[in-house]
Structure formats: structure tokens, C-alpha cells
Structure 1
Amino acid sequence: MGADHAQRAFIGSFTSAGGRGIIVAAVDRDTGEPTALAATDAVADPSFLAVGRANGTTVLYAVSETSPGAAAAFTLDDDGIPRPLGEVRPVGGSGPTHLAVTEGHLLTANYGSGSVTALPLAEDGAPGPASDVLIHEGSGPDESRQSAPHAHQVLADPSGAWLLSVDLGTDSVRVCALDAGTGSLRLHTETALRPGTGPRHLAFHPSGRHLYVLNELEPTVTVCRWDAVAGRVEPLGETPVLPEGNDGGAAVRTYPSEVVVSHDGRFLWTANRGHDSISVLTLDESGEKAVLVAAVGCGGRWPRDLTLDPSGQWLYAANEHSGNVSWFAVDAETGIPAHAGSFEAPAASCVIFA
């Protein structure tokens, strides 16, 4: 693999289930194949990762999905080995499952405690002590999963003006404002989705005018209009992510995990745990209508994460229970992914690209 044909990817995994922690891999641009370069288990259960920039260099961030939860940063040297940067910081909550970098802060979504935490970043990119913890309130009708709030994702909108947090326990999406000077978080709006759907993650359309909320407790995606000026989410309707009559049956319940939108806004993909598949949906030109067209095998079991590479040519599924990352060549005309290979990664939880 020539240097000009390689790009760098990072794979998170559960160390408590035999994972290697964070794996750094070189990915061949021509074939999509990852090759492991290095790994570190310096932080426990780094289930989700994010990349930022500081002083002109790349900084890797990881949650530690533990109780109490934490977040950590790593520098990336030429040898590919992630080296701890600063201290592992408590997030003031339990079970952080997602994180994002924006406005000089690291944000974590804390599933166990149902909260979002802001940690200011130093000039070198190291996270400092938490500046604020925004606690969610509410519950949902599923007593086993929704007895309390469960923040599952936090991310900035395309305009950079707002933070959105998706809460599985309260069936809602919250829009927050971050004060970059003080690191404080303020709830701006909260949008209720259909009770019992259990929203998990969302993704924006490239236009920035629509977003798609993937529901974990029911295999559907909720199409929403996004008003970046007002900071408001408007649900428009739901679309199934599995073919009718092909939901795996009661004995094999499906728990969708991740939603990805193509760079050109024509396709949407979801990863479906239990059904162990990747669904393909087409989007109309406006971004308001999603239609399910296919579901293909994920190349393993329990796909916890789904990621598109920067070129848009390759799609990666982190299959937690089978311990591998599968990659797929995306058909540019149909959006249907074709299995291209598999990479061993015990207890894999996510894949991101620098």
C-alpha cells in the first residue's frame, strides 16, 4: 500500500469485552482495506471516538463508557501510536456513548445519567475539567429502556450555532446553545418524537435543511426539517428501515444503531443490530422523502456503527459481536453496498476517519 493511497482510520472497541481499545489503521484508498498500525488500551471501553485539530496537528478524543464516565485525548505521532494528551477527565455522568468537538470544547452524551457534558480544550487540545453538565429530564413508555433520560448522541449542527442531543429515554431531540467563553450549556428547544421509538442517533442532509433521526426501539427513521436560524427541529414523518415482514421476528428484535447520509444527499444508510443488516434508503431532491430500497448483510453480527469514508466510495460497519469491521463498495448509481472484505477487531464499536 503506497503512502499516497493510504488514509488513517481509528477503530474504537470495548476493552471489557476483549477489545484492543483504540486501533489505528492505514486504509488503502483503492481497495478500502484497513491494515492495523498500532493500538492502545490506555483508556477503558473507548466506545466512540472523534477527531479535532490543535496547533496544526490531529488530536484523537475518546469516551470511556464506564461508570463514572470519562473522556480522554491522544496525540498521533508518525509511528501511528496514540499517546495520552493531558489527563483522563471525568464527565460528571455515567456511560458516555458519544462525543463531539466544537467551539473549543469537547462535548459528551452520557447515556447512563441522561446528560450532556462540556469540557473546555486547552491550546494543545487537552480537555480540562468539565465546565457544565446539562441534565435531561423525562421518560418514555418502554419501562425497561425508558424509565429515565438516556442521552445517546451530541453533535453540532452544520451552521455551528447549535448543539443537538438525541435522547433515547425521553423520545426527544434537544437543541442547546454553548457559550464558548464560559463553557455553559443552555437548553433552547426540545422536540418530542413519537413515544416509544427510542431515538438514538441523527445525521444531517448536506444541504443543512433536513436531518434524519434513527430510532432504536422501533426500526424506523424520522425525517425532520431543520431551522438553523430558529434552532428548531420539525418532524415530518417516519420511514421503516426494514422490509415489511422481515424484521427478524419477536425472537430476534432489531435495534438500529447508526444512520449515515451520502455526501451528495441521494442516499441514507442505517446499521441494524439483530437483523444484522445495512439498509439503503433513497432521498428525493428536497431531502424530505426517504424510501427503503434494499437491506444487505452487514458482514458480521451486531453492527454497532456505520461510517462512510471521506471519498464516499467505501462504507464500514463495526460488528461488535462478531469482532470485525466489514467494508463495502458503494454503488454510485443505486447506493447499494457490496461486501468487499473484513478486518479483525474484537468488540468493535466505531470507525472514524481523520
Structure 2
Amino acid sequence: MGANTAGRAFIGSFTSAGGLGITVADVDEDTGELSVLASTDVVADPSFLAPGHAPGTGAPVLYAVSETSDGAVAAFDVKGRGAPVLIGEPRSVGGDGPTHLDVLAGHLFTANYGSGSVTALPLRADGSPGPATCVLRHEGGGPDTGRQAAPHAHQVLADPSGNWVLSVDLGTDSVRVCALDPGTGSLRTHSEAVLRPGTGPRHLAFHPSGGHLYVLNELEPTVTACRWDPASGLLEPVGETSVLPHGVHEGGETGRTYPSEVVVSHDGRFLWAANRGHDSISVLALDETAEKPVLVAAVGCGGRWPRDLTLDPTGQWLYAANERSGNVSWFSLDAETGMPSPAGSLDVPAASCVVFG
């Protein structure tokens, strides 16, 4: 471990596949190195995590989904440097297989893949979620009968303005923009942006300007650039770019590539995408318009089946959670070219996500 600790990383993993649940690690600001502090498996399959704060005290809280058929969320006290401590009990989301969550306006939101819905839960003073106030069910489907026979909400994310909640649905090839009533905790669909049929959108990331975002598609290895108007809450797709080099269409045990996560650099010049199957990280350059990503390269992810990709708070280090090889790898980033260079790896069985807090 280096001399300068920048903070902590929290790593989610699938307990059903041998994972440790939530692992806490120190982060060395000079090397990007992760050093394990503790872990807890009190919640099953905490596949995605989100940092937040208790509304009453401002204390740091870590939120986790339980990606099970009886979908739930849980809150953890992470003030100390030991294992996260459960606050209250896990709370039902009224949906199947929550895969993502985010915090906005005193509420916790989950995207429930299995049931194709988004859930809102109010946060109590200690940071624990109360009973769900709204379960907004999506409708529709897509041309891939194996994956799109029904809605599959995969991500829910507050926009930078804090006025909207966006949900990405792999089953309906669309992104829904929802409005929250903070008083009642109810969600209503404000608008819906339809993407090319069969692309299977999975996750999105905002450009730091706040005027654009990028939707990474899982069923076809592409990224869709969109204009985003936070004043009107309208999303407009403007172009689609492959995240794999020309002529590369296959990879991995399945014979296909399934992109998983998209990240934009803090200066808005680069975009990175993780590709399961091809087991790579794509590097795309963004120009001043922010509307035309250009694929520059695809480099190895440092493992197999990269389920998540994230930047550290400084924007200098990129981390990949490699689910099937059971490790988190990290990369230093060239500020001029955006190219990642391997810098280290930590064994984490069935790793599924990395967040910082």
C-alpha cells in the first residue's frame, strides 16, 4: 500500500457465485492500488452499490441492491473503516431482480430488471429506506424475442440538474424520463426516447456539460449519442457508434459481445465502454460537439467479463470489475490520448461493481 490514501472503494459481488458481498478497500492516490479492509455478506447478491448520505445527519451511507427474485435494497453505515454495518433491515422494492440504484431528493430509486419496473423509496433520517411509495411499471418489448419479450429496466439515474430520473430499459429499446413528486414519492413518465429496435440499451452516462448523454447498448455493441435538454426533460438520439473495432463481432464463451458500462472523462474528451465477451475496454474520443464519438482503440480489461467500469474521483484511474475472472483491475489514464495502461489488479470473486465514497 502506498503512502497516500485517497479514500475508499466499495466493491459489490454476487454471493450466489462465491462473492464476498460488499468489500471495502483503501485507495492509494499515487498508484490507484486497492487494499482490502473488510467485507460483509449480510445481503444476498449486492450487485450494484451507490454512495449517499443520511438525510438527518449527513453521515455517509452506502446503498446496495439485492439482485434476487424477491428484490430488495439495503442501507449501510460506512463511517468507520471496518465492514459496512446494516442500518435497519433490507427493504422490498416490489420488483424482481433490481440491478441498479440511485439517490435523489431524499429518495432511493431502483431499476428492476426482472419485472421491468422502477421503484421509489423515501429515505429516513438515519439513511435507511422506508416502504416503497411508487413502483412504476414499464410496458413494451423489442424484436429480440429471447431478451426483449418484456420490459427490462436496467439502470435508473438522476440527471445532473436533479430534476429528472432517467430509466434505461433493455427490453423496450428506450429511455424513459420520469418526474418525481418529492412530497408523495410518486413517479410519473414525462417522456420516452426510442432507440433503434434490437439494440437493447443497458446503461447511460452524462457528458459533464450536461447537454448530452451516451447510451451503451448491450444487444448490439454500440453507443448512442443523445442530446439532453434538462429544461424540457427531453432526450433526442443523434447518432450511433460501434464500440468494437471494424470486423470484430464475436468474443468470449458465448460467441457474442455484450457491452456493460459506459464512463465519460471529467473533461468531456473521452468515453470508455466495457465489453463482456470481447473482454475489452473501448476508448472513444469526443469532439467539441460531443455528438460524434470516434472509436480509437479497444484494450484488454485485465480479466474476463467486465461487468462494471468506473473512474475514481480524481479521474486519473479507471477500474473494471471483472465478474468471471473474479478480480478488479485498474488502469492509469493518459490525459492526452485517453488510453488506459494496466496498473494493478485485486482478487475479488464474482466482482460486479466498484463505487467510491
TM bucket by the smaller chain?
over 0.9
Confirm or deny that 1:217 pairs with 2:223.
no
Question: What is the deviation of 1:150?
Answer: 0.1
Match of 2:89 among 54, 64, 87: 87
Q: Where does residue 253 of structure 1 map in the other structure?
A: 256
Residue type of the alignment partner of 1:304: R
Match of 1:267 among 270, 275, 287: 270
Q: Where does residue 53 of structure 2 map in the other structure?
A: 53
Deviations 1:132-172 (A, max 9, x none): 00000000000000000000000111100000000000000
Q: Where does residue 43 of structure 2 map in the other structure?
A: 43
CA distance in structure 1 between the partners assigned to 2:81 and 2:217 by the alignment:
39
Deviating above 6 A after TM superposition, structure 1's stretches of 4 or more consecutive aligned residues are: none
Question: What is the deviation of 1:35?
Answer: 0.4
Q: Where does residue 126 of structure 1 map in the other structure?
A: 128
CA distance in structure 2 between the partners assigned to 1:78 and 1:222 by the alignment:
41
Deviations 1:295-338 (A, max 9, x none): 00000000000000011110000000000000000011100100
Question: Which secondary structure state, in structure 1, belongs to the residue aligned with residue 111 of structure 2?
Answer: strand
CA distance in structure 1 between the partners assigned to 2:340 and 2:251 by the alignment:
24
Gaps in structure 1 of 5+ consecutive residues? none
Question: Which secondary structure state, in structure 2, belongs to the residue aligned with residue 126 of structure 1?
Answer: coil
CA distance in structure 2 between the partners assigned to 1:205 and 1:6 by the alignment:
25
Question: What is the deviation of 1:79?
Answer: 3.1
Residue type of the alignment partner of 1:201: H
Confirm or deny that 1:175 pairs with 2:177.
yes
Residue type of the alignment partner of 1:47: S
CA distance in structure 2 between the partners assigned to 1:77 and 1:255 by the alignment:
36
CA distance in structure 2 between the partners assigned to 1:299 and 1:22 by the alignment:
21
Q: Where does residue 331 of structure 2 map in the other structure?
A: 328
Match of 1:304 among 290, 304, 307: 307
Aligned pairs for 1:24-173 (under 5 A) are 24-54=24-54, 55-173=57-175
Question: Which secondary structure state, in structure 2, belongs to the residue aligned with residue 195 of structure 1?
Answer: coil
TM-score between the two structures when normalised by the length of structure 2: 0.98
Deviations 1:217-256 (A, max 9, x none): 0000000000111101000010000001123269620000
Aligned length: 354
Q: Any conservation in 1 of the 2:227–2:237 contact (CA below 8 Å)?
A: yes
Moved more, 284-293 or 315-324: 284-293
Question: What is the deviation of 1:68?
Answer: 1.4
Question: What is the deviation of 1:76?
Answer: 1.2
Q: Where does residue 9 of structure 2 map in the other structure?
A: 9
Q: Where does residue 208 of structure 1 map in the other structure?
A: 210
Q: Any conservation in 1 of the 2:16–2:44 contact (CA below 8 Å)?
A: yes
CA distance in structure 1 between the partners assigned to 2:189 and 2:177 by the alignment:
6
Confirm or deny that 1:290 pairs with 2:323.
no
CA distance in structure 2 between the partners assigned to 1:25 and 1:247 by the alignment:
36
Question: What is the deviation of 1:204?
Answer: 0.3
Q: Any conservation in 1 of the 2:13–2:45 contact (CA below 8 Å)?
A: yes
Moved more, 120-129 or 79-88: 79-88
TM-score between the two structures when normalised by the length of structure 1: 0.98
CA distance in structure 2 between the partners assigned to 1:227 and 1:214 by the alignment:
19
Question: What is the deviation of 1:53?
Answer: 1.1
Deviations 1:39-62 (A, max 9, x none): 000100000000001212110000
Question: What is the deviation of 1:286?
Answer: 1.9
Moved more, 282-291 or 94-103: 282-291
Q: Any conservation in 1 of the 2:2–2:31 contact (CA below 8 Å)?
A: no
CA distance in structure 2 between the partners assigned to 1:76 and 1:254 by the alignment:
36
- The alpha-carbon distance between structure 1 residues 216 and 331, as it changes in their structure 2 partners (threshold 3 A), is same
Moved more, 4-13 or 39-48: 4-13
Question: What is the deviation of 1:3?
Answer: 7.0
CA distance in structure 2 between the partners assigned to 1:203 and 1:144 by the alignment:
26
Question: What is the deviation of 1:78?
Answer: 2.1
Question: What is the deviation of 1:124?
Answer: 1.2
CA distance in structure 2 between the partners assigned to 1:309 and 1:218 by the alignment:
28
Gaps in structure 2 of 5+ consecutive residues? none
